Amino acid sequence: MGLIRLMDEPLSNKIAAGEVVERPASVVKELVENAIDAGGTAIEVLLLEAGLTSIQIVDNGAGMDTDDALMAFSRHATSKIANEHDLFRIRTLGFRGEALASIASVSKVTLHTSDGKTGTFVQMEGGRLIEHRAGSLRKGTDIKIDQLFFNTPARLKYLKTLQTELGHTIDLMNRLALSYPGIAFRLVHDGKAVLQTSGSGEIKRVISDIYGVSIAKKMIPFESESNDYKVSGFASLPEITRANKNYISLFVNGRWVKHYAIANTVHKAYHTFLPLERQPIVILNIEGDPYLTDVNVHPAKQQIRLSKEKELMELIHSTIRKTISSVVRAPVIEQPKAQKSAPTRQLDLWKSSYTVQEPPAGETASAPKPQLQQQPETALPGIPTDFPEDTRQPSSGLRQSSADIELPADSVQPEEALSREESGQEMDQFEDAGPQFPELEVVGQIHGTYIVAQSSDGFYLVDQHAAQERIKYEFFREKVGDIDAGERQALLLPLTFHYSRDEALRLKDALEVLSESGVFLEEFGDTSFIVREHPTWFPKGFEQEIIEELIEQVLDERKVDVKKIREEAAIMMSCKRSIKANHYLQKHEMERLLADLKAAEQPFTCPHGRPVIIHFKTYDVEKMFKRVM
Ligand code: ADP
Ligand code: MG
């Protein structure tokens, strides 16, 4: 007798539940998606004990008639697709017809639903029908999941703390709210509202509901399209940063998806606007023919396979980069409106985030006098003058976006701490100020580190190291990008490099790429290489180091990306010989530096994303001194 037999439905559902129902948040996801597909405009989620005790979802959508209400719990029961053709044209969030069956198989479910004509009540337990009868005629659906995983104790064990589980659900609800600003969502945990959106249709309002008003004010809208895709959304100003990519929310045709490559592209669009390792907040909506966006990759429908991915990535990159480039400028030190009596507090904040040297309160005059224009002892290595004169102008063909500011991570808060009242204030500044580099007159230098300069609208502190890094970066970036035109210089003694066998193999594959960024490696036996010459623009004394670092980059990357290598090479070289702090400059050197900075494409940040220049507005300074109120 054969050993194989078909499983009964509750068993196969329970197995399917293994993939679809991982934790309370996955139940919430499936049920809220159903409510959205049913056209609900107000959706409420009520949790007890992070959903472990119960999860209830109430919507005002289309509801179901009695037959459908019973049918809905069968595996493969769906109203959303009818044939194979539909599978490639999915416009709903659900389509697999397995969520309700899976959820019901591992919990106790009560369902009240009505399409306005019939009302139905259904009760299930462990996937088996317990009871059904006529019920209320309130149109919509009210579904409650009690004792999730009551019959699959192993699953329960995998759950994390209540706090973590709740965190997953809040995160999910945030994303749903962001992708459906027209729906009023409410999430209530143990009687307390955790999230509530208005359903007004404005994403910006949802952003504000979720991340707070001050963040919302610093989110810049964007929108553009290519042949096949349209992208739109909001991108944070570079002054707002986060430690991880969790704040990059990606939606494809209304579906929240996780897509490593897209998130990475978004991050790259901020390159040199943000400090390394920091991430922006971005809401990115991608719309395209469902035919191009295959969501039938995983039961949880959070992964997606995209056609014409390259086109889409370019669209995303250029759109976000342009958006950010167009709004950044030097950060402004402002007098807090509500804190008129405590100017020092604000300075403290800046000190902590920028290490701006602050005169001790009330004793400016007696503080050690900044040494203005002290003579340097020797000619300074690394002052911009050591660039070959004729090659200093950054090429205009090198579109490396524009300037930017970046306030360190926690600088989002200062503004709240300072309780600035006017909400529209900062946005307005960005809108009408534009990234214009001011006309500056050098006043002097502080601590051999900051150049003090003035213009008609106040005074400025320029971090000389950061400024020179920016200038050099743009210089090298052009150089690294234009290797063929560059002259080479022979080394007196060839340099030798040794690598392990597998590294050597990888390097042999990358010889061409390396030569494109100025490293001319020649094979020398199995695992060694020599370099006989290098481009003339390699900073003197750093040849070996630079070549090693470039090789390292190639070895680190899984795939070789010339553009990226060039970019990183430029950043690295710009850093190598830039004037450090504690270096006294002569006035003409400072003037030269500021003039070069002004000519830079992005004068406001160094290539690592830190600010180069800080503006103290005349008006704000006057307010600090109480000359004006
Ligand atoms: P899918 O969403 O993939 O179709 P589900 O198992 O999640 O599969 O749901 C099965 C069917 O039940 C849906 O296709 C839909 O017709 C119906 N349904 C589920 N939830 C709701 C709801 N909140 N309002 C109206 N109909 C619903
Ligand atoms: Mg569904």
For residue 326, what are its two tokens? 């167009």
Indicate the DSSP class of residue 384: G
Q: What is the CA radius of gyration of the chain?
A: 30
Number of H helices, E strands in the chain: 21, 23
Atom 14, ligand 1: residue with shortest CA distance? 78
Is the CB of residue 20 below 6 angstroms from any atom belonging to ligand 1?
no
Domain match, 191 and 289 both: no
Crossing angle of the two packed helices 203-211 and 162-179, in degrees rounded to 10: 160
Q: From ligand 1's centre to the CA of 99, what distance in Å? A: 8
User: Which parts of the chain have pLDDT scores under 50?
Assistant: 334-434
Give the ligand at the shortest distance from the Cα of 86: 1
Give the ligand at the shortest distance from the Cα of 80: 1
Span between the terminal Cα atoms of the chain, in Å: 95
Q: Which of 268, 428, 385 is nearest to 420 (CA)?
A: 428
By CB atoms closer than 10 A (0-12, 13-18, 19+), residue 119 is: buried
Is the CB of residue 100 below 6 angstroms from any atom belonging to ligand 1?
yes
Ordered alpha helix ranges (H), 510-616 = 511-516, 543-556, 562-576, 587-599
Q: Average pLDDT over the chain, rounded to whole?
A: 78
Domain match, 180 and 218 both: no
Atom 19, ligand 1: residue with shortest CA distance? 34
**Pocket-testing residue among 13, 31, 37, ligand 1, by greatest number of atoms within 8 A of Cβ:** 37
With a threshold of 0.75, does the pTM exceed it?
no
Measured CA to CA, the distance from residue 386 to residue 68 in angstroms comes to 79
Is residue 585 within 8 Å of residue 380, measured between CB atoms? yes
| Residue 82 domain-assigned (yes or no) | yes
| Residue 53 domain-assigned (yes or no) | yes
Domain match, 223 and 265 both: yes
Is the CB of residue 56 below 6 angstroms from any atom belonging to ligand 1?
no
Is the CB of residue 140 below 6 angstroms from any atom belonging to ligand 1?
no
Domain match, 173 and 241 both: no
Last residue of a domain, which of 325, 351, 382? 325
Domain match, 609 and 514 both: yes
| Closest atom of ligand 1 to CA, residue 103 | 6
Q: Which of 245, 224, 226 is nearest to 326 (CA)?
A: 224
| Residue 508 domain-assigned (yes or no) | yes
Ordered alpha helix ranges (H), 279-363 = 309-325, 343-354
**Pocket-testing residue among 29, 43, 66, 100, ligand 1, by greatest number of atoms within 8 A of Cβ:** 100
182 contacts: CB under 8 Å, gap ≥ 6: 41, 199, 200, 201
| Residue 459 domain-assigned (yes or no) | yes
Is the CB of residue 80 below 6 angstroms from any atom belonging to ligand 1?
yes
Tell me which amino acid residue 624 is: M
Last residue of a domain, which of 196, 224, 257? 196
SS3 category, 206 = helix
Is the CB of residue 36 below 6 angstroms from any atom belonging to ligand 1?
no
Q: From ligand 2's centre to the CA of 86, what distance in Å? A: 16
Report the CATH number at residue 578: 3.30.1370.100
| Residue 406 domain-assigned (yes or no) | no
Indicate the DSSP class of residue 605: B
Is the CB of residue 114 below 6 angstroms from any atom belonging to ligand 1?
no
SS3 category, 109 = strand
| Residue 403 domain-assigned (yes or no) | no
Is the CB of residue 77 below 6 angstroms from any atom belonging to ligand 1?
yes
Cα–Cα separations (whole angstroms), residue 605 to 273, 329, 416, 469: 7, 9, 24, 9
| Residue 396 domain-assigned (yes or no) | no
Is the CB of residue 64 below 6 angstroms from any atom belonging to ligand 1?
yes
| Closest atom of ligand 1 to CA, residue 143 | 23
Tell me which amino acid residue 149 is: F
Domain match, 251 and 147 both: no
Domain match, 82 and 214 both: no
| Residue 352 domain-assigned (yes or no) | no
Q: From ligand 2's centre to the CA of 93, what distance in Å? A: 7
Is the CB of residue 59 below 6 angstroms from any atom belonging to ligand 1?
yes
H or E element in which residue 611 lies: none
Give the ligand at the shortest distance from the Cα of 98: 1
Domain match, 169 and 283 both: no
Is residue 503 within 8 Å of residue 496, measured between CB atoms? no
Measured CA to CA, the distance from residue 514 to residue 551 in angstroms comes to 7
Measured CA to CA, the distance from residue 249 to residue 180 in angstroms comes to 13
Domain match, 517 and 586 both: yes
Domain match, 79 and 35 both: yes
- In the chain, how many domains are there? 3
Domain match, 187 and 230 both: no
Is the CB of residue 30 below 6 angstroms from any atom belonging to ligand 1?
yes
Last residue of a domain, which of 151, 172, 196? 196
Atom 16, ligand 1: residue with shortest CA distance? 79
> Which domain does 37 fall in, by range?
9-196
Q: From ligand 2's centre to the CA of 326, what distance in Å? A: 41
Give the ligand at the shortest distance from the Cα of 100: 1
Is the CB of residue 242 below 6 angstroms from any atom belonging to ligand 1?
no
Atom 12, ligand 1: residue with shortest CA distance? 72
Domain match, 154 and 233 both: no
Q: From ligand 2's centre to the CA of 617, what distance in Å? A: 56
Q: From ligand 2's centre to the CA of 94, what distance in Å? A: 4
Is the CB of residue 58 below 6 angstroms from any atom belonging to ligand 1?
no
Q: From ligand 1's centre to the CA of 144, what distance in Å? A: 14
Give the ligand at the shortest distance from the Cα of 29: 2
| Closest atom of ligand 1 to CA, residue 33 | 2
